[in-house]
Structure 1
Amino acid sequence: MTQKKSIIKRIKVAKRNNAKNKIYKSTVKNIIKKCLLSIQNSQTIPAMQINSEISLAYGKIDKAVQKGVFHINNGARKKSRLARALKNIH
């Protein structure tokens, strides 16, 4: 283990940021799964609920991109896949 204070601090900061990023990634992943399940079961779930879930997913994806968890193209791809799945049921 290194003795330099700056390197020790960078390791601590990297661990902290990694934990925060992991929370964002898992939240986005779970919301996307929930949206895709709602889209698959669109006959039993009202359209307003699906739209509100998609809106929530878009917001979480945008926030993750804003925080630097996802690259902007990665966020756009995730939103595009949700929109394509929603379009295919109509």
Structure 2
Amino acid sequence: MPNKKSAAKRVLVAERNRLYNRFWKTRCKNAVKKVLEAVAQGDKDLAGKRLVEAQSVLDKAVVKGVIHRNTAARRKSGVAAKVHVLLKTAQA
């Protein structure tokens, strides 16, 4: 237990932030998983649509300070590359 009033407040704030961050991190992971599922199914239209949604969710998480911008950029790049490969194979 915290000994000071300010320490007690920090415990409450830290718990609030933990829940908020967990919500956004889970949302990011789910968005990326949905893109990968669409890629695995070979549905290029759905994959493109979900890619846009995933990029939006990752960008929002960056703005809110939940994840670092380079982490979001790395995830967006990796998912976009897989969608790009799907589109290339669909055209060929």
| Equivalent residue, structure 2, for 1:60 | 57
* Pair 1:73 & 2:60 matched: no
Gaps of 5+ in 1: none
Gaps of 5+ in 2: none
- TM-score of the aligned structures, taking structure 1 as reference length: 0.90
| Equivalent residue, structure 2, for 1:20 | 20
- TM-score of the aligned structures, taking structure 2 as reference length: 0.88
Q: Which amino acid in structure 1 is aligned with residue 55 of structure 2? A: Y
Calculate percent identity across the aligned residue pairs.
37
The 4+ residue runs of structure 1 with deviation greater than 4 A are none
| Equivalent residue, structure 1, for 2:11 | 11
* Pair 1:32 & 2:32 matched: yes
* Pair 1:82 & 2:79 matched: yes
How far apart are residue 3 of structure 1 and its match?
2.5
